[in-house]
Structure 1
Amino acid sequence: MKDVYLFSGFLGSGKTSLLTDTIRQLKERGLKPAVLMNELGKLPFDSKAIEDDIPLKEMLEGCICCTGSEKTEAQLQTLLAGEDFDVLIIETTGAAHPVEALDAVYSPLFAKQLNVKGIVTVVDSKRWLDRHLLSPQMRSLFLEQIRHAHLLLANKMDLLSEDLQAKITFELQSFNSTATLIQTSHGKCPLSMLERLKGTVSEKKVNEARIGEQLTLSTRIISFKESVGKVEFEDWLRTIPSTIYRMKGFVPIKGTKNPMLFQYSYGMVQWLPEYVKMDPVIVIIGEKIADLKIPGSE
């Protein structure tokens, strides 16, 4: 199983600096990293910072999440099938929502091969102080990236006075009390801090993958034991809490030859026929999902 770190953060926060320094530390430890990088434009500016011996896949002109999730799955499959590496680092665009980026990683095709250690969000400390100047939409995204982090890097601290450093640290810890927070400059974070994020996959009857330790955002990988009625399953979907953000995978429906491709996003449901017999498994992403009972899984 490959350890995966997802680097998040607003535009210009210092994610690429974090990425290059993490790669350096991994190589010094004798570990081989691979990188999946997303950029919004047509040209791969940030990827030029990655050395030639590092397996690298890029997504240009799009987001690693949402509409780009299928492309992301294809890139990840290529990496897993064709490259030898120990650790995967995914650097999202600054415009990516962390939940959606995590959703793109958790394809049912290879979810059990990847151990997501956690979301590391780099925060531009000066931008935090000036967040009121952002448009409402951008401010919301900025705050979401921070709220869902498992490790927060309060970056660019070298540009601020000690009083402002203390103010930002207190405010960020209050805003996301479950994340570990460290002060950084130039995006440099000790590898040991990343390794403390304890993503695990248990081999119970219902496989559960917890992202980080004692954190709200988590995932579950659910294997179906029997087919379910489509109406029954949709009735169940209407009862789930709003803290379930994403579900996708292959659901075995009574009366169909193969499990159907299923996607759920913020209350919206999509079914598509599948012409190849896929493993009946779905991935759930959300908060407080440990006790969720899924029809057909027990």
Structure 2
Amino acid sequence: MIDVYLFSGFLGSGKTSLLMNTIQQLKEEGKKPAILMNEFGSVSIDSDTVEKSGNIPMKELLNGCICCTGSENTEAQLQALLEDYDDIDVIIIETTGAAHPVEALDAIYSPLFADRLNVMGIVTVVDTKRWVERESLSPQIRSLFMEQIRHAHLLLANKADLLSEGELSTTTMELSNLNSNAPIIQTEHAKIAFSFIEKTLRNADHSLSHPILSGKHLPLSSKLFTFKEKVSKEQFEEFVRSLPETVYRMKGYVPIQGANYPYLFQYAYGMVNWLPEYVNVKPNLVIIGEGLDQIDFDSFQTQN
């Protein structure tokens, strides 16, 4: 199992500074990190900075956001990292500032290698100066900014040195009101001990049946379900329709009664999609949402 950390945050918040600080600390600990960087444009900028830090395995996603058109490419790049390097200790994924956290998690969860990755959670870097001035943003951009905060597992209130004591106190309280589950750490230049990030996320209540999750009491969690037998397509769809709106994504390979090979199943925004497969793949299903521990996923396992 390789620990995976997703670094999120709005444009210019300090994600790359956090990444560089983390790489240096991991190297000093004798660990070998690998990096997946998402650049919105066609020219790599931040990755040049990473390359200067030494021999770090790295893959890039260019010309798109990890959370939309880059989803399939994300899976391919992660697969390449796992196949090309067999001594990786940690994978860090830096998203673009335009990435929605739910979509980003969806992009990195593949049923093909879900059992090899331990996704620790989302560390969101908050530009506190921009937060104070957020009313100047367009409604759409402001909504994305707030969504990145709401779904974080750990919040870094960055650029704290640019605010007055009163502004910083108010900002911290407002961030806490928006996401009461995530610890908030005030930082300058995104400087924080990676050991603290690791300990904070690892000590979350990982009480689900598989370690690939983000924590029982955190905003977003995930579950890897492995089918033990074939299921009825109709009964499975009926179960899916009964799920609460807090189940955002489901994707994987579902073994269907009467079919020789599992079907590729995808669920998003209440819509389901089935595609036939023509090879045997692991019957794994990845579920992403909130409050997953309250849902009995075993109930749709049909008895023969």
TM-score, structure 1 length as denominator? 0.95
- Cα pair 1:73 1:105 within 8 Å, conserved: yes
Matched, 1:90 2:93: yes
Cα drift, residue 32 of structure 1: 1.1
Task: Tell me which of 46, 62, 74 is aligned to 1:72.
Answer: 74
- Cα pair 1:116 1:199 within 8 Å, conserved: no
Note closer, same or farther for the CA distance 1:208–1:241 as it changes in structure 2 (3 Å cut).
farther
Note closer, same or farther for the CA distance 1:199–1:224 as it changes in structure 2 (3 Å cut).
farther
Find the counterpart in structure 1 of residue 2 from structure 2: 2
Find the counterpart in structure 2 of residue 110 from structure 1: 113
- Cα pair 2:5 2:122 within 8 Å, conserved: yes
SS in 2 for 1:225: coil
Note closer, same or farther for the CA distance 1:208–1:238 as it changes in structure 2 (3 Å cut).
farther
SS in 2 for 1:209: coil
Find the counterpart in structure 2 of residue 49 from structure 1: 49
Matched, 1:198 2:197: no
1:1-298 residue pairs with structure 2 within 5 A? Answer: 1-50=1-50, 51-83=53-85, 84-196=87-199, 197-198=201-202, 206-207=209-210, 209-212=212-215, 214-294=217-297, 295-296=300-301
Cα drift, residue 48 of structure 1: 0.8
CA distance in 2, matches of 1:6, 1:297: 35
CA distance in 1, matches of 2:198, 2:216: 12
CA distance in 2, matches of 1:241, 1:199: 27
- Cα pair 1:173 1:181 within 8 Å, conserved: yes
SS in 1 for 2:212: strand
SS in 2 for 1:66: coil
Cα drift, residue 201 of structure 1: 11
Structure 1 stretches of at least 4 aligned residues deviating more than 6 Å after TM superposition: 199-204
Q: List per-residue Cα deviations over 1:210-269 (Å, max 9, x = no partner).
A: 314631311110011221122221111111000000000000111111000011011111
Give the gaps of 5 or more residues in structure 2.
Answer: none
Cα drift, residue 284 of structure 1: 0.2
- Cα pair 2:216 2:293 within 8 Å, conserved: no
Residue identity opposite 1:270 in structure 2: N
SS in 2 for 1:139: helix
CA distance in 2, matches of 1:237, 1:212: 22
Deviates more, 1:62-71 or 1:277-286: 62-71
- Cα pair 2:117 2:212 within 8 Å, conserved: no
CA distance in 1, matches of 2:188, 2:219: 27
Q: List per-residue Cα deviations over 1:53-73 (Å, max 9, x = no partner).
A: 000100000111233211111
SS in 2 for 1:53: coil
Note closer, same or farther for the CA distance 1:159–1:202 as it changes in structure 2 (3 Å cut).
closer
Cα drift, residue 137 of structure 1: 1.1
Cα drift, residue 192 of structure 1: 2.0
- Cα pair 2:205 2:215 within 8 Å, conserved: no
TM-score, structure 2 length as denominator? 0.93
CA distance in 2, matches of 1:199, 1:105: 22
RMSD of aligned C-alpha atoms? 1.8
CA distance in 2, matches of 1:135, 1:201: 37
Note closer, same or farther for the CA distance 1:138–1:265 as it changes in structure 2 (3 Å cut).
same
CA distance in 2, matches of 1:136, 1:265: 24
CA distance in 1, matches of 2:205, 2:184: 24
CA distance in 2, matches of 1:34, 1:234: 38
Residue identity opposite 2:124 in structure 1: T
Residue identity opposite 1:164 in structure 2: E
Note closer, same or farther for the CA distance 1:133–1:202 as it changes in structure 2 (3 Å cut).
closer
- Cα pair 1:115 1:200 within 8 Å, conserved: no
Note closer, same or farther for the CA distance 1:203–1:143 as it changes in structure 2 (3 Å cut).
closer
Deviates more, 1:8-17 or 1:65-74: 65-74
Aligned residues with identical type, % of pairs: 61
